[in-house]
A and B are shown apart, each in its own frame.
Chain A
Amino acid sequence: MMIWNQNKECMSREEMRELQGKRLHKLVSLVYHNTPFYRNKMQEMNITPDDIRTIDDIVKLPFTTKQDLRDNYPTGMFASNMSEIVRLHASSGTTGSPTVVGYTRKDLAIWSESVTRCLNAFGIGRNDIVSVAYGYGLFTGGLGLHYGVENLGATVIPTSTGSTEKHIKLLRDLGATAIACTPSYALYLAETIEKMGLSMDDFKLKAGVFGGEPWTEEMRVEIERRLGIKGYNIYGLSEIMGPGVSYECECQCGSHIVDDHFYPEIIDPQTCEPLGYGKQGELVFTTLTKEGMPLLRYRTRDLTSLIDEKCACGRTAVRMTPVVGRSDDMLIIRGINVFPSQVESVILEMKEFEPLYMLVVDRVNNLDTLEVQVEVREGYYSDDINAMLALKKRLANRMKSVLSINAEIRFMEPGQLVRAQGKSQHVIDKRIIK
């Protein structure tokens, strides 16, 4: 496998920490002088840019939250003049006003460099043809991947979202070798290819660039089996850059963070205390080199842990383990922490079910209830009601052992659960807290 930037991806940890420290010092000066939000915060905390000399000084700096970005909507967090900003993106505003992010020309170059490192680690080179099926537009997924593929010198098919049948036809007819999309859309693609009666032998696909939502090892196995490809994780978030903040290598033992540009920390989500390597907590990023909208210690809400050991692939870049959930979409049901990803892993390990689910949380007579809606896969339906009830019981028992609470299983008719094209919505919480 190839390493795009040997110098940075395999740099010794001491050299990297020195580079990170220098970049952090410069970053803090930039935001202190250009972002009133950070200047005010730092003055309140009685720190100046001169107090930040090495990367270890980062713990002195204030955190940034999603709420801070909303409060400073639309461009209050920008550290560059609009004349320097060459592109804007915005995240969906499902729980408030949208978040706008701005990029300078240099930011875009670093973004493309980061995505190129990812693609190269996935075994994608200049002879490959990559279909980018993330949404193009305000969402960073589509354009982020697009320019990374071009920067690598491979061929990009800017598919975006839309007709799946047309997409499948183009994948086949153009001989696409890689596809970039959400893992749930990859499963939907597999299902549609099977429904269209096509064989994977008609395709040249070999790699999948999957991100945009957390996914499990079981889901990877399922996608790899049905599409006959290798599936790699690409991680990112628009507040920090977009896709390309971290990526798996061929060892698939965590995702390497592009840590010469995005400095990671893990904190306790309750106390905000920094946690060491190997400890699970909330992932926090500082954008070491960003000019448009640099962020100090941005709280991602993603729960993961960091690994600081040299990888078998040769890279030294710090790795993050798969995201187990979000500190804000963790459900508390009857006092127990429940992550949708746990439910997903159970459903994916049982061949009788489609890889889809919906959780409905409610409160009946002051008691929380959890309903898990699933679809039985075609071929596993039985005419025998006892066999169906036994299957339901088996899933319920498995859920109980993983979640530690009872879940009511509900079998839906085929096609009733939503097949997501973008990030899938997996939870309906009907509880009204009185």
Chain B
Amino acid sequence: MTTKQLSIFLENRIGRTKEVVEILSNAGIDILAFTIADSAEFGILRLIVSDIEKAAKQLKEAKISAIQTDVLWIPMDERIGALAEVLSKLAEGNVSIEYMYVCYSDSKPYIVIRPAQMELDKCEQIFG
């Protein structure tokens, strides 16, 4: 259960994220999830989108450099304790997490995880 995530390098300036998001919306691309990692003067915008190839093409035409990363993509039940179960499986498998965030697709929740060592095969085994 992996999917591809788009990561975009952004300078910290007013309106920059809006510009990037507009490029995607103008092309009819749906943003399923996003998160921003920030440092003092730049950020990395991470996105899960409905059509990653089309999104990458649109961004390239706008001279925005985006990289694609494989991430874990795990369906979640909407009940108390579901997140803890997923995380304990990873901890038992000795996988550390670089970052994670939540995504909704077809009204169902998913958790997006980037394991620290990019051990995607190992993670897939864990979740069978």
Please indicate the chain A residues that have their CB under 8 angstroms from the CB of B42 in the complex.
388, 411
Listed A/B pairs (15) with beta-carbon separation below 8 Å: A383-B7, A383-B69, A385-B37, A385-B38, A385-B39, A385-B44, A388-B42, A388-B44, A389-B39, A411-B11, A411-B41, A411-B42, A413-B11, A414-B64, A416-B11
Q: A388-B9, A411-B42 are in contact. List 9 more A-B contacts (CB 8 A).
A: A376-B9, A383-B44, A383-B67, A383-B114, A385-B37, A388-B44, A410-B41, A411-B11, A412-B11
Answer yes or no: A381 CB below 8 A from chain B CBs: yes
Bits for B3-45, please: 1 = Cβ < 8 Å to A, else 0. 0010101110000000000000000000000000111011010
Q: Are B10 and A413 in contact (CB under 8 A)?
A: yes
How many angstroms from the CA of A383 to the CA of B65 in the assembled complex? Answer: 11
Tell me if A381 and B67 are in contact (CB < 8 A): yes
Rounded to whole angstroms, the CA-CA distance of A382 and B37 in the bound complex is: 12
Chain B, interface SS category: strand
Taking a contact as CB atoms under 8 Å apart, the answer to whether B63 and A388 are in contact is no
**Is the Cβ of A413 less than 8 Å from the Cβ of B65?**
yes
Q: Which of B37-75 contact A (CB under 8 A)?
A: 37-39, 41-42, 44, 46, 63-65, 67, 69
Chain B residues, Cβ within 8 Å of A381: 7, 9, 65, 67
Residues on B with C-beta less than 8 A from A384 are 98
Nearest neighbor of B43 in chain A, beta-carbon distance:
A385
A378 CB-CB contact with B under 8 Å: yes
Give the tally of cross-chain contacts (CB within 8 A): 41
Give the chain A neighbours of B64 by CB distance below 8 A.
413-414
Interface size on A, residues (CB 8 A): 16
Alpha-carbon distance between A376 and B65 when the two chains are bound, in angstroms: 10
Separation in Å of the B12 CB from the closest CB of chain A?
10
B contact residues around A411 at 8 Å (CB): 9, 11, 41-42
In the complex, per-residue mask of A363-382: 1 if CB is within 8 Å of any chain B CB, else 0: 00000000000001010011
Residues of A within 8 A of B67 (CB): 381-383
Task: Name the A residues within 8 Å of B98 (CB-CB).
Answer: 384
Separation of A384 and B46 alpha carbons in the complex (Å): 10
| Distance, CA A314 to CA B80, complexed state (A) | 85
Q: Which residues of chain A come closer than 8 Å to B41, judged between CB atoms?
A: 410-411
Closest to B41 in A: A410
Residue A415 interfacial (CB < 8 Å): yes
Interface flags for B67-103 (1: CB within 8 Å of A; 0: not) read: 1010000000000000000000000000000100000
Complex Cα distance, B69 from A378, in Å, reads: 15
Chain A residue nearest in CB terms to B16: A413
Name the residue in B9, B10, B69, B98 with the highest tally of chain A Cβ atoms < 10 Å from its Cβ.
B9
- Chain B residues lying within 8 Å of A376, measured Cβ to Cβ, are 9
Q: How far is the CB of A295 from chain B (nearest CB, A)?
A: 46
Complex-state Cα separation, A413 to B7, whole angstroms:
13
For the complex of A and B, 9 pairs with smallest distance between CB atoms = A383-B7, A385-B37, A414-B65, A383-B69, A415-B63, A413-B11, A411-B42, A381-B67, A381-B9
A382 to B41, CA, bound (A): 16
Task: Give Cα distance in the complex from A413 to B41, angstroms.
Answer: 11
Kindly state the separation between the CA atoms of A137 and B98 in the bound complex, as whole angstroms: 57
Complex: chain B residue closest to A414, CB-CB = B65
C-alpha spacing A389/B98, complex, angstroms: 15
Q: CA A412 – CA B69 in complex, angstroms?
A: 21
Chain B residues lying within 8 Å of A415, measured Cβ to Cβ, are 63
Which residues of the partner chain A approach B11 to less than 8 Å between Cβ atoms? 411-413, 416
- Tell which of B5, B37, B42 has the most Cβ of chain A within 10 Å: B42
Report Cα–Cα, A393/B121, bound state, in Å.
Answer: 32
How far apart are the CA atoms of A378 and B5 in the complex, in Å? Answer: 17
B7 to chain A, nearest CB (A): 4
Q: Chain A nearest CB: distance from B76 CB in Å?
A: 23
Taking the nearest CB of chain B, how far is it from the CB of A384, in angstroms? 7
Bound complex: CA of A382 vs CA of B69, how far in Å? 9
Closest to A384 in B: B98
Cα distance, A309 to B18, chains bound together (Å): 63
A413 touches B37 (CB 8 A): no
Report chain A residues within 8 Å CB of B63: 414-415
Bound complex: CA A247 to CA B95 (Å): 61
Q: B103-120 vs A: 1/0 string, CB under 8 Å?
A: 000000000001000000
Residue in A378, A385, A389 with the greatest tally of chain B CB atoms within 10 Å:
A385
B7 contact set on A, CB distance < 8 A: 381, 383
Proximity bits, A252-268, B CB within 8 Å = 1, else 0: 00000000000000000
Q: Mark A392-434, 1 if CB is under 8 A from B, else 0.
A: 0000000000000000001111111000000000000000000
Given known A-B contacts A389-B39, A413-B64, A383 and B10 have beta carbons under 8 A apart:
no
